[in-house]
Amino acid sequence: MKRPATSAAGAALKKPAGKMVSLEFPKGFIWGSATAAYQIEGAAFEGGRTACIWDTFCAQEGKVKNGDNGTTACDHYHRFKEDVKLMKELNLPAYRFSISWSRLLPKGRGEPNPEAIKFYSSLLDELHKNNIKPYATIYHWDLPQCLEDEYGGWLSRKVVDDFEHYAATCFKCFGDRCKAWITFNEPWCSTVLGYANGEMAPGKKEKPETEPYIAAHHIILSHARAVKRYREEFKAKQGGVIGITLNMDWRHPLTEDEGDKAAAQRALDWQLGWFADPIWKGDYPASMRKRCGDRLPSFSEEEKQLIKGTSEFFGLNHYSTAYVAAPKGQAKTVSMWGNVQAGGYFDDQEVELIDDPRWGRSDMDWGVVPWGLKHMCEYIQQEYKPEGGILVTENGCACPDDDVNVAKFDSFRVEFYQGYIAQMHKAIEAGADVRGYFAWSLMDNFEWALGYSKRFGMVHIDYETQKRTPKQSALLISEVAKSNKLTLPESTLQESDFVMIEEGAGRKTTKDAPPGQKEG
């Protein structure tokens, strides 16, 4: 699989060559799609919603490609019934979405906004009417700007009380119809991209040696307090589950050298373990505590007990893979904006990431490496043994789908899904307790710092007319969800398997700080 096709002729689906194989999934396996409030809702200043940190970030010149913002996005706020109807037509039994904090609580705290309650209640009612199970993410990066202004947002411990109140408001207002909750989506992005390289809201990069760790500490405490509140006041009556979603691309040692193996483990510790270890084991990874010293905040014994065991499933967002080598000299990585990342967090983990030049590349220039998902699921199973299993809450790829006629035949994305789902199936066969898969994304949307220049959707969005057009990938996921099995060419299955990088090959990866862009 090489780069996505950019012409209608090149994008046309290839006829399956040779033998086809079918992979059956366990009974009750969950299939769905995912979105996020700021990326699709629009109506940014309607219905009582106030600004979030992404509205502010987008308004700053040069922060978002083409000066794009989420003011209209996919206009889901007004078109949610059409979107739910589309999910129903695509046989999608589950839908993961997020709630906008500044829509539900325009002042960041206090009483909820009746118009927001009406909107999310109507969405949930529509999902139930169509037998689609909702999975609600409480925080997908959109902190109310008023809390950022008042006390610095995630850098202040005050945010823990406000997040607990916000989460409890979600449970009170919607917990009778929503039985699956995700407290945070990808806190690594909120902290590293928000406070180390400044490429995402709130755009801070002045103190990469301390602020990412402080923000992460408060997010972990906020998560734990929200889960405690849910379990004490709501779980018995509402009967739901609650957990967290972490993002991690697989990190494979470049060689059998002990230095490369140690570097690969640090890469896992500094991204996944940073959040997963406190929640599943009770404290930060020993490697982080040793290297960061006092710069890494510490949990009290009481806090460790509060945090440990607070995720009832392991939510995983996974997109790509890289080989890892121990750097020669100071570690330097390049972000998706093309900026050299050094200092603080980036020095602490001390890793060099390398891609195999044989890998296909998505429109984000991310390597397409299906076997990485198998390794990732197996690692999580071995390291954390999540009682509620693993939910792949995001997986997908960007293709140059601006032209709707090209988008309808997104063969690159079809092969991407086939390869990754096949490797997830292999992980299950190998003993990983994977229980669900959510394709990212239901529809093309606002891709954060890249604005509308990248398209991840299974459904094409014409941003001028807001017309929705399903792509070939949507039909693939629809068939998989309906039959609970994946049918794919045997050759695609074989191509998805692990092949070690050739000695001496490789290029430095740009897949360090998604999302962003290489060209300025």
* Side-chain half-sphere exposure of 430, counting CA atoms within 13 A: 17
Pairing of strands 468-470, 459-461: antiparallel
Helix/strand/coil for 435: strand
Respond yes or no: is residue 164 known to be catalytic: no
| Cβ partners under 8 Å of residue 22, min gap 6 | 485, 486, 487
CA angle 127, 132, 138 (to 5 degrees): 70
Question: Exactly one of 126, 303, 312, 394 is catalytic; which is it?
Answer: 394
What are 144's strand-pairing partners? Answer: 52
Q: At how many degrees (to 10) do helices 114-129 and 158-174 cross?
A: 50
Respond yes or no: is residue 186 known to be catalytic: yes
Distance of CA 217 to the CA centre of its chain: 19
Q: Does 60 appear as a known binding residue?
A: no
Pairing of strands 340-341, 333-334: antiparallel
Q: How is 473-485 classified by DSSP, letter by letter?
A: HHHHHHHHHHHTE
Q: Give the span between the Cα atoms of 446 and 440, in whole angstroms.
A: 13
Tokens for 102, please give them: 């500044």
Q: Does 448 appear as a known binding residue?
A: yes
Question: Exactly one of 41, 148, 164, 186 is catalytic; which is it?
Answer: 186
Q: Does 445 appear as a known binding residue?
A: no
Residue 144: other Cβ atoms inside 10 A: 27
Q: Does 185 appear as a known binding residue?
A: yes
Q: Give the span between the Cα atoms of 510 and 501, in whole angstroms.
A: 17
Q: Does 447 appear as a known binding residue?
A: yes
Helix or strand run (H / E) with residue 90: none
DSSP 65: G
Q: Give the span between the Cα atoms of 401 and 189, in whole angstroms.
A: 25
CA-to-CA dists, residue 53 to 38, 47, 204, angstroms:
10, 18, 12
89 in Cβ contact with 78 (< 8 Å): no
Q: What is the largest CA-CA distance in the chain?
A: 62
Distance of CA 403 to the CA centre of its chain: 26
Q: Does 440 appear as a known binding residue?
A: yes
61 in Cβ contact with 466 (< 8 Å): no
User: Which residue numbers belong to the known binding site for substrate?
Assistant: 39, 140, 185, 319, 440, 447-448
**Residues annotated as catalytic (active site), given as ranges:** 186, 394
Known binding-site positions = 39, 140, 185, 319, 440, 447-448
